[in-house]
């Protein structure tokens, strides 16, 4: 071996095995969950916040309709989603990421899966969900929102329900997206992919209606084929 090689030349080939192991373990765990909905949102939301309470109610309602609930496995909105699903007797999946601050797993996830890499975790959010709910959040939530929206808009995954909960929170972003449409940067109708609501029952019905009319895809989405 050449001792003058940079460190990454020795480490990167072995890193592939860690990535593979992360995919194998997560795919094995999540392939048994059945139809699922992912809830995204801030790790900083407190239990006293209305968004936390709304998330818990949403997850409880989804679980009562035999839908697994997937979250990022951490505190805040993620904890609320896992709590609601678990207390309703449903599958409560937490895809926890190792971070030096802010994130640590909540104890309400009855299907916990730990990740080192963000990108493997993000694959699992999309691969095993048939609907997505975006609660108020920060950079991470926005990153997940735009990635899932892009996959649907480019038809790499089916036209799953994409639900923005909290009209007041999302209002400014939607206005900016509308300006992109007016400027020709996105296509007319792209924003129709989104459902914006404050009503938990409306969000649940949107997901159930998709299942009744389209069903849950039996094959792997194109993005992962």
- Write the pLDDT tens digit of every residue in 4-18: 655 655 677 788 888
Average pLDDT over residues 214-221: 66
The dihedrals phi and psi of 40, each to the nearest 5 degrees, come to -105, 155
**Contact call for residues 91 and 85 (beta carbons, < 8 A):** yes
Residue 2 domain-assigned? no
Residue 135 domain-assigned? yes
- Phi-psi category of residue 129: left, alpha or beta, with phi > 0 → left and psi -120 to 50 → alpha: beta
Number of domains composing the chain: 1
Residue 221 domain-assigned? no
| Cα atoms found within 13 Å of the Cα of residue 130, Cβ hemisphere only | 24
**Which of 86, 99, 97 has its CA nearest to residue 119?**
97
**Cα–Cα distance, 181 to 89 (Å, whole number):** 43
Residue 12 domain-assigned? yes
Residue 148 domain-assigned? yes
Residue 43 domain-assigned? yes
Q: Which residues contact 60 (CB under 8 A, 6 or more apart)?
A: 84, 85, 87, 88
**Cα–Cα distance, 128 to 163 (Å, whole number):** 17
**Contact call for residues 39 and 59 (beta carbons, < 8 A):** yes
Q: Look up the CATH number of the domain holding residue 77.
A: 3.40.50.450
pLDDT computed for residue 217 by the predictor: 62
Containing structural domain, residue 104: 7-215
Residue 150 domain-assigned? yes
Report the percentage of the chain scoring pLDDT > 70: 90
Residue 16 domain-assigned? yes
**Contact call for residues 203 and 163 (beta carbons, < 8 A):** yes
- The pTM (predicted TM-score) of the whole model is 0.90
Model confidence pLDDT, tens digit, residues 122-152: 999 999 999 999 999 999 999 999 999 999 9
Model confidence pLDDT, tens digit, residues 52-89: 999 999 999 999 999 999 999 999 999 999 999 999 99
Which stretches does DSSP call E strand in 28-117?
36-40, 68-71, 92-97, 111-115
């Amino acid at each position: 071996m050449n001792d003058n090689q940079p460190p990454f030349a020795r480490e990167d080939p072995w890193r592939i095995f860690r990535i593979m192991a992360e995919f194998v373990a997560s795919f094995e765990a999540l392939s048994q969950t059945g139809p699922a909905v992912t809830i995204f949102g801030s790790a900083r939301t407190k239990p006293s916040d209305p968004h936390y309470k709304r998330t818990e109610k949403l997850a409880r309602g989804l679980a009562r309709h035999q839908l697994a609930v997937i979250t990022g496995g951490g505190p805040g909105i993620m904890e609320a989603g896992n709590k609601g699903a678990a207390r309703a007797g449903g599958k409560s999946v937490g895809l926890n990421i190792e971070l030096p601050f802010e994130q640590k797993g909540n104890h309400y996830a009855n299907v916990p899966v730990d990740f080192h890499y963000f990108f493997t975790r993000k694959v699992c959010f999309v691969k095993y969900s048939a609907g997505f709910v975006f609660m108020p959040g920060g950079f991470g939530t926005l990153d997940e929102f735009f990635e899932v929206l892009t996959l649907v808009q480019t038809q790499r995954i089916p036209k799953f329900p994409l639900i923005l909960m909290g009209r007041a929170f999302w209002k400014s972003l939607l206005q900016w997206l509308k300006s992109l449409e007016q400027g020709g940067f996105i296509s007319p109708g792209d924003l129709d992919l989104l459902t914006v609501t404050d009503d938990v029952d409306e969000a649940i019905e949107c997901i159930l209606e998709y299942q009744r009319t389209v069903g849950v895809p039996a094959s792997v989405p194109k993005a992962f084929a």
